[in-house]
Structure 1
Amino acid sequence: MGAPIVVHRPSPTGGRRVTASGEILGLAYDDLDLVEFLRRAGLPEAERILDDPQWVEWRGGRAHEYQAA
């Protein structure tokens, strides 16, 4: 099984959809948005897992980049 959190490819207008176990958490425009979504989902130490591939899978673009390609 893959990582429970997926940060999807940047949208054409910028921002990345974030899902946790298939549930949409929101559209993140930067790491602060992403951390807030993960905290609301019950991960208080969210900033520590952003680069852990067991927790977070970054799809369709470089990690931590939110602008449209």
Structure 2
Amino acid sequence: MSATHPVTVYPPDDDGGRRVRVDGEILGRAYSVSDVARLLQQAGLQGWDEMDVVRSRLIEWRGGDPSEWA
């Protein structure tokens, strides 16, 4: 991961899902911080958990912070 914010979590859609992009590739939709952590683990960040997701400066949260899902 090379950019200042290599992970982007987009605003919630009508179903409450948020697209998660890493280095320009959409990994999937997340419906919770746990889902974001799971997607990042699948992308190679094996040790990451929910607290890492909430605290990380590598993640750009668009359309709300980690508590916004609707």
Compute the TM-score of the two structures, normalised by the length of structure 2.
0.81
Deviations 1:19-50 (A, max 9, x none): 00110010000111111100000001222531
Give unpaired runs (5+ residues) of structure 2: none
Counting matched residue pairs gives 66
1:28–1:66: 8 Å Cα contact kept in structure 2?
no
Task: Supply the RMSD in Å over aligned alpha carbons.
Answer: 1.4
Question: How many percent of aligned residue pairs carry the same amino acid?
Answer: 39
Higher-RCO chain (CA-CA 8 Å, sequence separation at least 6): 1
Greater helix proportion: 2
Higher share of residues assigned strand: 1
Consecutive unaligned residues in structure 1, runs of 5 or more: none
Per the normalisation by structure 1, the TM-score is 0.82
